[in-house]
Amino acid sequence: MEIIEENVHYLKQLKFHNPFFMDGMREAINRVLKAVNNKEKIIIYGYSDVDSISGISILFLLLKYLNADVEYFIPDYMDEEYRISSESLKEYIRYLGADLLITVGCGSNSKDEIMLAQDMGIDVIVTDYHEIYSDCEQAIIINPNKKLCKYPFKFLSAAGIAFKFCEAVSRYYKIKGVYKYIDLAMIGTISSKLPLEAENRTIVDIGLEHLAATNNYGIKALMKINNFKKIDQKAVIKLSQSVISAKSVVGRIDNARIAVELFTTHDSYRAFQIAKYLNKEILK
């Protein structure tokens, strides 16, 4: 796995833009490092689509690797404007003891909710790609579509931006092997249906090459259950469709929470049991 990862990295690295070109990235990294060093409670917040699930998993795995005090939270419904839920802030996140909230694929237009979080003593880092309708100076916002943001590529998915965040953290800490998360970024990117061009294409190309040697137990379990004979873009689409059920809102939310556990567990037996459960849910 290491040889494949390094070879792919050197062949493709010039097609990746510097993550620090993204406005707010340095401030976000500094805030995360403060939280890690001071053992503050970090909550990763995202929605129940596969793109967000992948991005949540990427950030959770990285922050756990840094020995952060971190949990994830997926609200009971998806807001059409991808805002943070004020009810979730008041009824759940506050009681989790959050000091820092990091969103995945949402929150760019959540000024009121961010101010509410501030009143609760919770700092907010938004990682998102949706169009921004109004400025919010109360949060650190990482969004390539942010006004005056000079990041060259504007179509990264939620998982893609989470991966760029990991790239930035890895540069600061001099962590090798951050590309082990690119299979999750690739799953999120393909499921997002954003244009597969430029940097998205690079994420997908490297992700597909990496998939055969993935060390993610959840992905391995899904591949085994689906009996993949060939690893290509169609296989990844099938894999992403096996993660959550769209047949009911309740089932979708519950499965999304379980899917994050699938992608972040370090227990191969547990991963296989979750994958079997999700597969049964899809077939219902």
In this prediction, residue 148 has a pLDDT band, given cuts at 50, 70 and 90, of: confident
Tell me: pLDDT of 138 over 80.
yes
In this prediction, residue 242 has a pLDDT band, given cuts at 50, 70 and 90, of: confident
Q: What is the largest CA-CA distance in the chain?
A: 53
In this prediction, residue 124 has a pLDDT band, given cuts at 50, 70 and 90, of: very high
Q: What is the rounded CA–CA span in Å between residue 142 and residue 136? A: 12
The continuous run of DSSP H or E covering 44 comes out as: strand 41-46
Q: With contact defined as beta carbons under 8 Å apart, do 129 and 161 qualify?
A: yes
Q: What is the pLDDT of residue 251?
A: 54
Tell me: pLDDT of 256 over 80.
yes
Q: What is the pLDDT of residue 281?
A: 66
| Count of C-beta atoms within a 10 Å radius of residue 188 | 33
Q: Provide the phi-psi class of 91: left if phi over 0, else alpha when psi is between -120 and 50, else beta.
A: alpha
**Average pLDDT over every residue of 84-101:** 94
Q: Which residue has the tokens 């769209």?
A: 246
* Three-class secondary structure of residue 119 per DSSP: helix
Tell me: pLDDT of 272 over 50.
yes
Q: Which two tokens stand for residue 68?
A: 């952060």
Tell me: pLDDT of 56 over 50.
yes
The continuous run of DSSP H or E covering 59 comes out as: helix 50-65
Q: With contact defined as beta carbons under 8 Å apart, do 100 and 125 qualify?
A: yes
Q: What is the mean pLDDT of the chain?
A: 88
CA neighbours within 13 Å on the CB side: how many for 68?
25
**Average pLDDT over every residue of 66-76:** 94
- The 10s digit of each residue's pLDDT in 170-216 is 888 887 777 889 999 999 999 998 999 999 999 999 999 888 889 99
Q: Which two tokens stand for residue 111?
A: 């000024």
**Average pLDDT over every residue of 273-282:** 82
Q: For residue 50, what are the contacts with CB-CB under 8 A and spacing of at least 6?
A: 187, 188, 191, 240, 243, 244, 259
Domains and CATH numbers, the chain: 2-283 (3.90.1640.30)
Q: What is the rounded CA–CA span in Å between residue 48 and residue 139? A: 23
Q: With contact defined as beta carbons under 8 Å apart, do 43 and 100 qualify?
A: yes
Q: What is the pLDDT of residue 248?
A: 46
**Average pLDDT over every residue of 212-235:** 88
Query: How many Å from the N-terminal Cα to the C-terminal Cα in the chain?
Result: 36
Helix-helix angle 268-283:249-264, to 10 degrees: 160
The pTM of the full predicted model, rounded to 2 decimals, is 0.91
Label the pairing between strands 123-127 and 41-46.
unpaired
CA neighbours within 13 Å on the CB side: how many for 139?
32
Label the pairing between strands 69-73 and 140-142.
unpaired
- The 10s digit of each residue's pLDDT in 20-45 is 999 999 999 999 999 999 999 999 99
The continuous run of DSSP H or E covering 136 comes out as: none
Tell me: pLDDT of 76 over 70.
yes
Query: Which of 70-79, 101-110, 228-237 has the highest average model confidence (pLDDT)?
Result: 101-110
